[in-house]
């Protein structure tokens, strides 16, 4: 009998064999029933497949628009927008701090004019759009709603998501602008405004993805994400919002890594835990207790060595997300350790989802791994370990306090260090990196972003400012300042400013003067 000690990536011991004795607490509920361990829909993908999103955005709005039309023609059912760093942290393309970053990791969006070009020829009523944006999420949402209005869309039919999860930015990713308190106020303003104006919009995508990318384990990913979710719910309750209304518009965003069974167990455990959290916070409508989530395959698992191996990694991660019951999925291009994905790599990534959906049979039945002694035992172990972390965070006073004390950041750093140490000492094998290497000449074609984009964007900004009604633009910024200084919901004022062609940087700066910046 093997005496080798084997653990999952979260350090949960894996036994040689599992029997019914390991499943002391079998999940009795069915898919679509509280606590939703087995999925949020009774028939899962037999009723409707997950939304196949491909995350895309680079260079200018015009270039990204071409990629969106291409992806829609290839069978994508939802768009997912990547924004460049200046857009993410509230700087226009002509700002000195935007130098060298315009259009690099996503598309540059400075104004409603750019948003009009980004979605040219695409009816917003007919497409679900996810926007990966946090600190400036409220501005991008206003651009999107303003464009929908210009298209004559029925706002009650507009669907999509803004990430809008600022707590994980402080903990793991770093694209924050304002301190935690005013940031939480902006988020609850969005919850309140959307429930009236765009009721089908998912107002937040509480994100474990970047926590995992920063080096956390699967257990830490769900514990920290659900703790952050709890903090947003409490902030909304303090504002007097109805948990049964805003609870239905909360969504989550998780990572899928290579440890197939731990990943499936993680998704199942997260659903069960969130249902309990929402019930304890006062939700009575079961729809408000459902954890609905988007998944992206693990960017940090991709290797620059033998990049085509990444196609196999992404396939395993796709299976984990689907067998774990995701509502939408983005699959990474095999070349993303080298550059933004080329069109070929994006197509292969989409085809990976389509092959799993239409050829593998895993979508034919809800929760196909249920009842496996190993999966049920692992789901319970992941849940138990995640509750222990959540209890620690609760004892500190919740996520905001835990982030301010550096607890989450330290835990993630410790896990990342441990993981890297195991790769270096060879106890963790990464194929093509620390084992099975080859002499290779890397001739993978990469997508290059032209440096001239910043000049183009800067010229567009100058032209916009010259032709807009300057007086109306400045007046709308003054009114926004007054609302932000008081207790009024800022969203109607942001929308007015956007419709008068105020830029992203002008709106972000307007609030910087009032709230300051987080250091």
Q: 209-228: per-residue pLDDT in tens?
A: 999 999 999 999 999 999 99
Query: What is the end-to-end Cα distance of the chain in Å, rounded?
Result: 55
User: What pLDDT shows up at residue 1?
Assistant: 55
User: What pLDDT shows up at residue 3?
Assistant: 66
| Residue pLDDT, tens place only, 58-113 | 778 998 999 899 889 988 878 889 999 999 999 999 999 999 999 988 999 999 99
In percent, the amount of the chain with pLDDT more than 70 equals 99
Neighbouring C-alpha atoms within 13 Å toward the C-beta of 248 = 12
User: What pLDDT shows up at residue 2?
Assistant: 58
For residue 35, is the peptide bond before it cis, meaning its omega torsion is within 30 degrees of 0? yes
- Element spanning 312, H or E: helix 309-323
CB–CB of 400/170 below 8 Å?
A: no
User: What pLDDT shows up at residue 441?
Assistant: 84
pLDDT at 6 over 90: yes
pLDDT at 32 over 90: yes
| Residue pLDDT, tens place only, 227-278 | 999 999 999 999 999 999 999 999 999 999 999 999 999 999 999 999 999 9
pLDDT at 302 over 80: yes
Query: How many Å apart are CA 480 and CA 496, to the nearest integer?
Result: 9
Under the banding of pLDDT at 50, 70 and 90, the label for residue 140 is: very high
Q: Where are the alpha helices (DSSP H) in 198-259?
A: 209-213, 218-238, 243-246
Strands 204-207 and 250-256: what pairing? parallel
User: What pLDDT shows up at residue 230?
Assistant: 97
Under the banding of pLDDT at 50, 70 and 90, the label for residue 519 is: confident
Q: How many CB atoms lie within 10 A of CB 17?
A: 8
For residues 398-420, average pLDDT: 95
pLDDT at 146 over 70: yes
10 Å CB burial of residue 107 (0-12, 13-18, 19+) is: buried
């Amino acid at each position: 009998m093997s005496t080798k000690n084997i653990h999952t990536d979260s350090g949960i011991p894996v036994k040689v064999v599992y029997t019914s004795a390991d499943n002391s607490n079998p999940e009795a509920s069915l898919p679509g029933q509280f606590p939703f361990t087995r999925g949020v829909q009774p028939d899962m993908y037999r009723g409707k497949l997950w939304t196949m999103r491909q995350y895309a955005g680079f260079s200018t709005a015009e270039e990204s628009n071409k990629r969106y039309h291409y992806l829609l023609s290839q069978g994508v059912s939802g768009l997912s927008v990547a924004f460049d760093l200046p857009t993410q942290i509230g700087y226009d393309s002509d700002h000195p701090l935007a130098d060298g970053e315009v259009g690099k990791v996503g598309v540059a969006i400075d104004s409603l004019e750019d948003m009009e070009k980004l979605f040219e020829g695409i009816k917003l009523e007919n497409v679900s759009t996810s926007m990966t944006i946090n600190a400036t999420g409220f501005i991008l949402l206003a651009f999107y709603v303003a464009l929908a209005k210009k298209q004559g869309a029925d706002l009650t039919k507009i669907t999509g998501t803004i990430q809008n999860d600022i707590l994980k930015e402080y903990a793991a990713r770093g694209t924050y602008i304002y301190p935690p308190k005013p940031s939480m106020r902006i988020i609850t303003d969005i919850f309140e405004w959307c429930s009236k104006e765009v009721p089908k919009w998912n107002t937040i995508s509480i994100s474990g993805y970047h926590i995992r990318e920063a080096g956390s384990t699967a257990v830490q990913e769900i514990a920290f994400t659900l703790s952050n979710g709890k903090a947003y719910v409490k902030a909304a309750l303090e504002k007097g919002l109805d948990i049964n209304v805003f609870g239905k518009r909360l969504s989550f965003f998780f990572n899928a890594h290579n440890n197939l069974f731990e990943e499936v167990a993680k998704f199942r455990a997260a659903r069960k835990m969130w249902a309990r959290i929402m019930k304890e916070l006062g939700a009575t409508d079961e729809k408000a207790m459902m954890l609905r989530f988007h998944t992206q395959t693990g960017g940090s698992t991709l290797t620059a060595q033998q990049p085509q191996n990444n196609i196999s990694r992404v396939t395993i991660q796709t299976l984990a997300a689907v067998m774990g019951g995701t509502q939408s999925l983005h699959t990474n291009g095999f070349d993303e350790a080298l550059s933004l994905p080329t069109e070929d790599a994006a197509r292969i990534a989409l085809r990976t989802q389509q092959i799993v959906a239409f050829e593998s049979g895993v979508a034919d039945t809800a929760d196909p791994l249920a009842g496996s002694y190993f999966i049920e035992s692992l789901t319970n172990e992941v849940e138990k370990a995640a509750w222990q972390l959540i209890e620690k965070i609760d004892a500190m006073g919740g996520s905001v306090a835990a982030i301010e004390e550096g607890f989450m950041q330290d835990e993630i750093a410790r896990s990342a260090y441990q993981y890297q140490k195991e790769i270096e000492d060879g106890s963790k094998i990464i194929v093509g990196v620390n084992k099975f290497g080859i002499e290779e000449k890397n001739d993978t074609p990469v997508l290059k972003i032209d440096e001239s984009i910043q000049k183009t964007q800067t010229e567009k900004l100058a032209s916009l400012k010259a032709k807009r009604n300057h007086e109306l633009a400045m007046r709308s910024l003054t009114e926004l300042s007054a609302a932000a200084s008081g207790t009024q919901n800022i969203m109607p004022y942001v929308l007015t400013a956007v419709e008068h062609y105020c830029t992203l940087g002008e709106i972000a700066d307007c609030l910087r003067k009032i709230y300051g910046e987080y250091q």
